[in-house]
Protein backbone atom coordinates (compact mmCIF):
# COMPACT_ATOMS: atom_id res chain seq x y z
CA UNK A 1 0.00 0.00 0.00
CA UNK A 2 0.89 3.69 0.07
CA UNK A 3 4.13 4.95 1.61
CA UNK A 4 5.21 8.37 2.88
CA UNK A 5 8.54 9.87 3.84
CA UNK A 6 8.35 11.85 7.06
CA UNK A 7 11.35 13.64 8.53
CA UNK A 8 11.91 15.30 11.88
CA UNK A 9 13.95 18.35 10.94
CA UNK A 10 17.08 19.46 12.88
CA UNK A 11 15.06 21.81 15.13
CA UNK A 12 12.79 18.95 16.18
CA UNK A 13 15.80 16.81 17.05
CA UNK A 14 17.61 19.63 18.91
CA UNK A 15 14.45 20.47 20.88
CA UNK A 16 14.01 16.90 22.08
CA UNK A 17 10.75 16.32 20.21
CA UNK A 18 11.71 13.04 18.50
CA UNK A 19 9.75 10.73 20.79
CA UNK A 20 6.70 13.00 20.84
CA UNK A 21 6.57 13.21 17.05
CA UNK A 22 7.20 9.53 16.28
CA UNK A 23 4.59 8.67 18.89
CA UNK A 24 1.87 10.59 17.03
CA UNK A 25 2.36 8.58 13.83
CA UNK A 26 2.69 5.34 15.75
CA UNK A 27 -0.55 5.95 17.67
CA UNK A 28 -2.43 6.88 14.50
CA UNK A 29 -1.82 3.36 13.25
CA UNK A 30 0.60 3.73 10.37
CA UNK A 31 3.29 1.08 10.07
CA UNK A 32 6.83 2.29 10.69
CA UNK A 33 8.97 0.64 8.02
CA UNK A 34 12.07 2.86 8.17
CA UNK A 35 13.74 4.84 10.96
CA UNK A 36 17.16 6.43 11.37
CA UNK A 37 19.08 9.43 12.66
CA UNK A 38 21.05 11.01 9.84
CA UNK A 39 23.00 14.15 8.99
CA UNK A 40 22.55 14.88 5.31
CA UNK A 41 24.74 16.55 2.70
CA UNK A 42 23.60 19.74 0.97
CA UNK A 43 23.44 17.67 -2.25
CA UNK A 44 20.79 15.43 -0.70
CA UNK A 45 18.88 18.38 0.80
CA UNK A 46 18.87 20.11 -2.60
CA UNK A 47 17.66 16.98 -4.37
CA UNK A 48 14.94 16.43 -1.76
CA UNK A 49 13.61 19.99 -2.12
CA UNK A 50 14.49 20.39 -5.83
CA UNK A 51 10.99 21.67 -6.71
CA UNK A 52 11.72 24.72 -4.54
CA UNK A 53 15.17 25.49 -6.00
CA UNK A 54 14.04 28.77 -7.58
CA UNK A 55 12.54 30.13 -4.35
CA UNK A 56 14.35 32.97 -2.56
CA UNK A 57 14.41 30.97 0.70
CA UNK A 58 16.01 27.88 -0.93
CA UNK A 59 19.61 28.49 0.32
CA UNK A 60 18.30 29.04 3.86
CA UNK A 61 16.17 25.91 3.57
CA UNK A 62 19.20 23.82 2.58
CA UNK A 63 21.23 25.36 5.42
CA UNK A 64 18.40 24.54 7.88
CA UNK A 65 18.00 20.92 6.80
CA UNK A 66 21.76 20.27 6.87
CA UNK A 67 22.33 22.11 10.19
CA UNK A 68 22.20 18.96 12.33
CA UNK A 69 20.86 15.44 12.43
CA UNK A 70 17.36 14.71 11.21
CA UNK A 71 15.23 11.66 11.94
CA UNK A 72 14.09 9.89 8.78
CA UNK A 73 10.86 7.88 8.89
CA UNK A 74 9.19 5.74 6.28
CA UNK A 75 5.53 5.05 6.99
CA UNK A 76 3.09 2.74 5.31
CA UNK A 77 -0.67 2.49 5.24
CA UNK A 78 -3.73 3.36 3.21
CA UNK A 79 -3.94 7.12 2.68
CA UNK A 80 -0.74 7.69 4.67
CA UNK A 81 0.51 10.58 2.50
CA UNK A 82 -2.50 12.87 2.95
CA UNK A 83 -3.11 11.74 6.53
CA UNK A 84 0.50 12.40 7.59
CA UNK A 85 0.24 15.92 6.16
CA UNK A 86 -2.95 16.46 8.16
CA UNK A 87 -1.20 15.31 11.34
CA UNK A 88 1.72 17.62 10.48
CA UNK A 89 -0.43 20.70 9.77
CA UNK A 90 0.01 23.82 7.64
CA UNK A 91 3.47 24.93 6.47
CA UNK A 92 3.34 28.05 8.67
CA UNK A 93 3.07 26.79 12.28
CA UNK A 94 1.16 29.94 13.30
CA UNK A 95 -1.54 28.95 10.83
CA UNK A 96 -1.43 25.23 11.63
CA UNK A 97 -4.40 23.98 13.65
CA UNK A 98 -3.88 23.12 17.32
CA UNK A 99 -3.65 19.37 17.56
CA UNK A 100 -1.29 19.16 14.58
CA UNK A 101 2.46 18.74 15.11
CA UNK A 102 3.34 22.17 13.73
CA UNK A 103 0.29 23.76 15.39
CA UNK A 104 1.32 22.40 18.77
CA UNK A 105 5.09 22.60 18.54
CA UNK A 106 6.25 25.48 16.34
CA UNK A 107 6.01 29.19 15.52
CA UNK A 108 7.98 29.83 12.30
CA UNK A 109 7.83 28.48 8.73
CA UNK A 110 11.63 28.32 8.67
CA UNK A 111 11.60 26.12 11.82
CA UNK A 112 8.53 24.00 11.23
CA UNK A 113 9.83 20.82 12.88
CA UNK A 114 8.76 18.15 10.42
CA UNK A 115 8.42 17.21 6.74
CA UNK A 116 5.88 15.01 5.01
CA UNK A 117 5.71 13.88 1.37
CA UNK A 118 3.07 15.71 -0.67
CA UNK A 119 2.07 12.86 -3.01
CA UNK A 120 2.42 9.06 -3.16
CA UNK A 121 4.87 9.51 -6.05
CA UNK A 122 7.03 11.80 -3.92
CA UNK A 123 6.67 9.35 -1.03
CA UNK A 124 8.36 6.69 -3.15
CA UNK A 125 10.91 9.15 -4.55
CA UNK A 126 11.90 10.44 -1.11
CA UNK A 127 12.09 7.00 0.55
CA UNK A 128 14.44 5.91 -2.23
CA UNK A 129 16.46 9.10 -1.75
CA UNK A 130 16.88 8.89 2.04
CA UNK A 131 16.97 5.13 2.68
CA UNK A 132 19.10 2.34 1.30
CA UNK A 133 17.02 -0.61 0.14
CA UNK A 134 17.98 -2.80 3.13
CA UNK A 135 17.12 0.00 5.58
CA UNK A 136 13.43 -0.32 4.75
CA UNK A 137 11.80 -3.14 6.69
CA UNK A 138 8.46 -4.38 5.39
CA UNK A 139 6.60 -6.17 8.18
CA UNK A 140 3.08 -6.95 9.26
CA UNK A 141 2.26 -5.70 12.77
CA UNK A 142 0.44 -8.42 14.74
CA UNK A 143 -2.05 -5.82 16.00
CA UNK A 144 -3.29 -5.24 12.46
CA UNK A 145 -6.65 -7.04 12.95
CA UNK A 146 -7.35 -4.60 15.82
CA UNK A 147 -6.55 -1.63 13.62
CA UNK A 148 -8.23 -2.58 10.35
CA UNK A 149 -11.34 -4.66 9.77
By annotation, the residues acting in catalysis are: 115
Using CB under 6 A, list all residues that contact ligand GTP.
52, 57, 60-61, 91, 109-110, 112, 115-116, 118
Task: Give the footprint of Mg ion on residues 59-118 (CB under 5 A).
Answer: 118
Q: Smaller CB distance to ligand GTP: residue 33 or 88?
A: 88
Burial class (CB in 10 A: 0-12, 13-18, 19+), 118: middle
Closest residue by beta carbon to Mg ion:
118
User: Residue 81 Cβ, how far from ligand GTP at the closest point, in Å?
Assistant: 11
Q: Smaller CB distance to Mg ion: residue 34 or 123?
A: 123
- From the list 143, 32, 26, 139, the residue with the least C-alpha distance to 87 is 26
The alpha helices in the chain, defined as continuous H runs, are: 10-14, 18-28, 42-48, 58-65, 80-88, 101-105, 120-130, 144-147
The binding site for ATP comprises 9, 57, 85, 91, 102, 112
Amino acid sequence: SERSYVMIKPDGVQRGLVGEIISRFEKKGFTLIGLKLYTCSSELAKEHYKDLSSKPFFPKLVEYITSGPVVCLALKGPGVVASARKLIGATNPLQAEPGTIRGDLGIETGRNVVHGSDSPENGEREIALWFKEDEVCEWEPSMMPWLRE
